[in-house]
Structure 1
């Protein structure tokens, strides 16, 4: 993004993480100035938005510099709740060597094993896994645990209070393994879950385990080279004996705004158009309705009688309901993908064709490479992709965590008989971008 770039109001809203209505209010209040192009469409000029921190970060990004980060040595990891591999692949691209990946779903496990035969994929219930053999042998533990309400009977807000939830199993793995760092990811709503008590309990447990929690941050995938508006809450915790001596820095945002055009066609994200693939189909009646919705539109663009018939009881409910009969826009990022592209409340219709998104279109929106194959039924493939962390977002986080480990390796060096970066060669071969060594010296600990 350059200072003279023009940006649509919708894309500006996506970057800012606010609604289009909020941007309209800003324009009305003089906070930003809209202009009108030859097609009578409003736009903004980036140079006039530099006072907004999100835009300033894009203008002054160090994305390319951070792309050059490589590990000082082989750093190991274990991932829990691995799913179809979005987080695991991103961390792998950043240079981490997975010692174990656990996943309960058989189709997701098959996907992981098909694409990465060398990965140690353990299928089964996490409750049955003994992590003690890995004690002191793993640098990083990661996992995206499902959000569940905790018991507060004892009101101690500690480790035992979470028993019976999958977060307890993640915490148990941390307790048994004692990694130097662990990272958890979840939905943004975790911050407000159960009136905020869930996140407070999580913070308390992390402290009880002997880790310093970096202030959690919600990262917007659209800022990290992903053509999607997905938001993920990231929690990173550093072991007490290490935390005072290192300085974790969150990843730089990307200087580009990616859209569905970037996902579906040859360009900076992909070197070819999206491959043809299987996908859901609309019933004839629904297809007839969706044909009436313009690009970027929704149920509000339908004739009123058709809208009432299609929406049924939802027509009279409050709220925008903008996910219903929603057709995406080619020049905007996708709405957050769900586990199915044709659910009535969260429609994801192709921008220019009247059909749901295909499997490979889904995968590209999540920035999976085209050769990453998904196993199982059609619905299983959509579910794996829809539940994943976008690969490019995971990769950006992985690079930030790798920089942290490079600092840790300076203050806590470990002897190794391996050839430098030996285990990193598959990543070099696949992506061909890791040439130099980027490592900042350790600085006093900070949450910034």
Structure 2
């Protein structure tokens, strides 16, 4: 039985990914984030929610730069913390999503040569240097699906194999976990060969990768994407300020924007008034139909549909379904499936609020990923039939029988 898994978090933002792991039973003991505003929001939200601060504290200022952790005294200090964590835990893991604009079609698209693209390589180097028992690497689908970036992704995987990790990867859609948002992300998870051998998996993996049938990727999937996309979601409606439209039949209400607005009580949330007010151009806010998200910017959400990917930057603007304004931070947090008691500090700039929200891993998706890892580590000699979502016992190899 697993008693304790300690997590070192990198590129933490204000902690959406971390929160999903915390609420699944992992212990976040170290938090790395270079942006002081984001890190302050991390502290603020955890204090409000009653969570204990990380055992080894927060990596701030220069030490928040992951490249700074690869050499010198900072690298040595991190090594000592990891060794200390091993004394009181069953496993030590790294989790993180390096900044992704350099791999995003809608972003800078500079790939591995961009300033932020290089951080993916730094994260992999950090994993190789400190040898956690497992790691999570999260990034945009462009790293996985775009041909010129896919080569770099394969190079990273080959490097991780050389560092002694067996890998599994999956292109997830956050909607599958109950998030009201069409958001695809590539998740790469690696387990050290030493750990896998110790858990009895020796002999199952011959190519340094875990076949999908061995890892419970679908364990927490509530709504398969084929089911979601086949439903008769409503089309666009003429915009009507404060209009009332009943929820249509034959859709999944729990995946709609309006359901989450109500669930999180966004009109009375502490961040309800945190939204950009236009200096001019109010007419544009009145002219775009509810549900018209066809534009690069000024996408208006439909109350009875899921949101497009929450990306609040690079001049991308998302409008409230039935109010003549942009989304509030409270509404954006709801679309990212955060608990309703998760709040950002009032003094945080609007730019930082929306950037950190848009960059975060949706909370329910984070919980789903964490649950898959916890289940895999807790039941090492089992096989999950991902098509039937059932668990059955494997026949042990002769060497283990």
Q: Considering the TM-score relative to the shorter chain, is it more than 0.5?
A: yes
- The residue that corresponds to 1:81 in the other structure is 11
- The residue that corresponds to 1:399 in the other structure is 371
- The residue that corresponds to 1:348 in the other structure is 318
Alpha carbons of 1:363 and 1:440: their partners in 2 closer, same or farther (altered >3 Å)?
Answer: farther
Distance in 1 between residues matched to 2:357 and 2:116, nearest whole Å: 29
- The residue that corresponds to 1:388 in the other structure is 360
Shift of 1:273: 5.2
- The residue that corresponds to 1:427 in the other structure is none
Does the 8 Å contact 1:327/1:348 carry over to 2?
Answer: yes
Per the normalisation by structure 1, the TM-score is 0.63
Q: Which runs of 5+ in 2 are unaligned?
A: 47-51, 70-74, 103-110, 202-213, 224-251, 383-390
Structure 2 residue 299 is the aligned partner of structure 1 residue 332: no
- The residue that corresponds to 2:229 in the other structure is none
Shift of 1:274: 4.4
Which stretch shifts more, 394-403 or 171-180?
171-180
Shift of 1:442: 7.6
Alpha carbons of 1:150 and 1:358: their partners in 2 closer, same or farther (altered >3 Å)?
Answer: closer
Of 66, 70, 81, the residue aligned with 1:126 is: 66
Does the 8 Å contact 1:217/1:233 carry over to 2?
Answer: yes
Shift of 1:236: 0.7
Distance in 1 between residues matched to 2:33 and 2:395, nearest whole Å: 37
Alpha carbons of 1:280 and 1:218: their partners in 2 closer, same or farther (altered >3 Å)?
Answer: same
Does the 8 Å contact 2:180/2:335 carry over to 1?
Answer: yes
Per the normalisation by structure 2, the TM-score is 0.70
Distance in 1 between residues matched to 2:121 and 2:276, nearest whole Å: 40
Alpha carbons of 1:358 and 1:210: their partners in 2 closer, same or farther (altered >3 Å)?
Answer: same
Shift of 1:386: 1.0
- The residue that corresponds to 1:249 in the other structure is 216
Shift of 1:275: 2.4
Corresponding residue SS for 1:241: helix
- The residue that corresponds to 2:286 in the other structure is 291
Distance in 2 between residues matched to 1:442 and 1:274, nearest whole Å: 51
Corresponding residue SS for 2:139: strand
Shift of 1:142: 0.8
- The residue that corresponds to 1:186 in the other structure is 139
How many residues matched? Answer: 308
Corresponding residue SS for 1:278: coil
Distance in 2 between residues matched to 1:358 and 1:444, nearest whole Å: 54
Shift of 1:394: 0.2
Shift of 1:359: 0.7
Q: Which runs of 5+ in 1 are unaligned?
A: 1-70, 152-161, 299-320, 412-438
